[in-house]
Amino acid sequence: MDFAAIARLSTEHPKPIGLELQYGTAGFRSKAEQLDHIMYRMGLLAVLRSKQTKSTIGVMVTASHNPEEDNGVKLVDPLGEMLAVAWEEYATCLANAEEQDITAVLQDISQKERISLMQEAFVAIGRDTRPSSETLSQAVIDGVTAFGAQYHDYGLVTTPQLHYIVCCRNTREQYGTSTVKGYYQKLTKAFAELCKQASSYGDTPRGVKVDGANGIGALKLKEIENYLQKECLIELFNDGTKGKLNCACGADFVKVQQKPPQGMEMNPNEKCCSFDGDADRIVYYYIDSAGQFHLLDGDKIATLISTFLKELLIKVGLNLKMAVIQTAYANGSSTRYLEETMKVPVYCTKTGVKHLHHKAQEFDIGVYFEANGHGTVLFSKTAEEKIRQLAKGEVDAEKKKAAKMLENTIDLINQTVGDAISDMLVIEAILAVKSFTVQQWDTVYTDLPNRQLKVKVADRRVIDTTDAERCAVTPPGLQEKIDELVKKHSLSRAFVRPSGTEDVIRVYAEANTQENADALAHEVSLAVF
């Protein structure tokens, strides 16, 4: 192993003096100009992880919904999951090591994890459309090659496309063909099959307006359109030709601001959706004839999908355990509707996709969505086998049809990670099959008015939480104050937690009216000081 080469090349990717960064819920995120050394080092770490797992590891250069000037990087584990938690610590350690210590840190990790350095390694690299992403992904490549490993640069891809590719490569193409074209073919085939089941198929072409957040999702949507038949007419806005990435548009803007993105022509009652900057989140919305904005976020998406799946499961007569996984940000109405009306068990985990993903793996079918629109569905191996068996078996026509629809849904959903393109196609197919308009979907339950606020404090780590972040244990007395404030309103709930991606405390409140939700959020944010 040529550690001298690693050390030599690392001087070309120097760490700014005193800069300390942490591998958080979404990998490293910072101003792009602070990240060159991080990229080089994550190239090195990906090689180590690849040697350890004897699999392809992914490296995605993106800062998702953050401003265009930011960038970031996350590693993708063998089956397309987020990097294992133990390795997040190694990532932080390697990122913050002084230059002369880099090889020692690498050797230390190798020893701890008993990694054979002779083992071959392969890294799959992808990037978003940020101006800084190309140079930064070159720094990742420098790290990979300094370590003497092989790589493939997939160039401009969405985050979920890279997760898909990594999974395909490591399952010997069982999950699909490990190319972007393979991804389009897999998804569009399943989508066409599912849409065929819609009784209205062929009568009225169904359309959706998409806000591409001026990012990679827009680019990739244009590509997938070439593979789609006429099942879905996509009208793309914010495609990156005029506006700036995530600037007054995109899923995060729409969800947090609770208003339409700029750059989109919306007519009353038209179905619209927004992707985020790396296309792993999606939210839907429309404006009604009175001009009022209606948001259909991750909770509404989870409800639509789980209801659809439950109805099909009843038809096929399979006794599979299904659950919905949410976080504390899930609207109280959605949880109530799922538990009380749909009789679907709901679990709450800490914020961050990896927590939801792990919980969802405990069920035959785990539907997980963050309220912000990041989510997917996981099918256990057993569930998948049973469904595929029924779909090709000698069963009555109705049963077979339902089994096939479940099978198509399995193939349409990107099980590796939340995926705006895949989720959009799942939603469009379900709406077509159920002959549902976006308004009908919206009225399934009514969201409780809610408000999210950010509070800047000297040190956000003074707040520690428990009970899936719904209860503050420190500083002393804070939770009691919040409880007092919550009691003043009806149908209310509020919590605070330190953000894992920004230097702020997040405040969430819901109540019976928007005024009360706003007031409660404001009162709670004052209590944080």
Q: Which residues are catalytic?
A: 64
Least distance to ligand NG1, CB of residue 351, Å:
5
Cα pseudo-dihedral 110, 111, 115, 116, rounded to 10:
100
Question: What distance in Å separates the CA atoms of residue 232 and residue 293, rounded to the nearest whole number?
Answer: 24
Token pair in block for residue 35: 């990240």
Per CB under 5 A, 88 contacts Zn ion: no
* Cross-strand bridge partners of residue 324: 346, 367
Per CB under 6 A, 158 contacts ligand NG1: no
Question: What distance in Å separates the CA atoms of residue 450 and residue 508, rounded to the nearest whole number?
Answer: 7
Total residues at interface with Zn ion (CB under 5 A): 4
Least distance to ligand NG1, CB of residue 522, Å:
18
Q: Which is nearer to ligand NG1, 198 or 367 (CB)?
A: 367
Per CB under 6 A, 306 contacts ligand NG1: no
Per CB under 5 A, 239 contacts Zn ion: no
Three-state secondary-structure class, residue 422: helix
Under 8 Å between Cβ of 277 and 62? yes
Per CB under 6 A, 502 contacts ligand NG1: yes
C-beta pairs of 402-406 under 8 Å, 24+ apart in sequence = 402/312, 402/315, 402/316, 403/316, 404/193, 404/197, 405/194, 405/197, 405/312, 405/433, 406/309, 406/312, 406/313, 406/316
Find the binder of ligand NG1 among 500, 514, 518, 522 (CB under 6 A).
500
Question: What distance in Å separates the CA atoms of residue 97 and residue 112, rounded to the nearest whole number?
Answer: 17
- Distance (Å) of CA 364 to CA 309, 319, 509: 12, 9, 33
- Say which entry of Zn ion, ligand NG1, none residue 26 contacts (CB below 5 to 8 A, set by partner kind): ligand NG1
Per CB under 6 A, 74 contacts ligand NG1: no
- Say which entry of ligand NG1, Zn ion, none residue 370 contacts (CB below 5 to 8 A, set by partner kind): ligand NG1
Under 8 Å between Cβ of 472 and 464? yes
Q: Which is nearer to ligand NG1, 318 or 324 (CB)?
A: 324
* Cross-strand bridge partners of residue 296: 284
Find the binder of Zn ion among 231, 239, 252, 276 (CB under 5 A).
276
Three-state secondary-structure class, residue 526: helix
Least distance to Zn ion, CB of residue 257, Å:
17
- Say which entry of ligand NG1, Zn ion, none residue 351 contacts (CB below 5 to 8 A, set by partner kind): ligand NG1
**Could you give the string, one character per residue 333-352, with x where binding to ligand NG1 holds by CB under 6 A and - elsewhere?**
------------------xx
Total residues at interface with ligand NG1 (CB under 6 A): 14
Q: Which stretch binds Zn ion (CB under 5 A): 148-156, 268-276, 285-293, 465-473?
A: 268-276
Site of interaction with ligand NG1 (CB under 6 A): 25-26, 64, 329, 351-352, 370, 372, 374, 499-502, 506
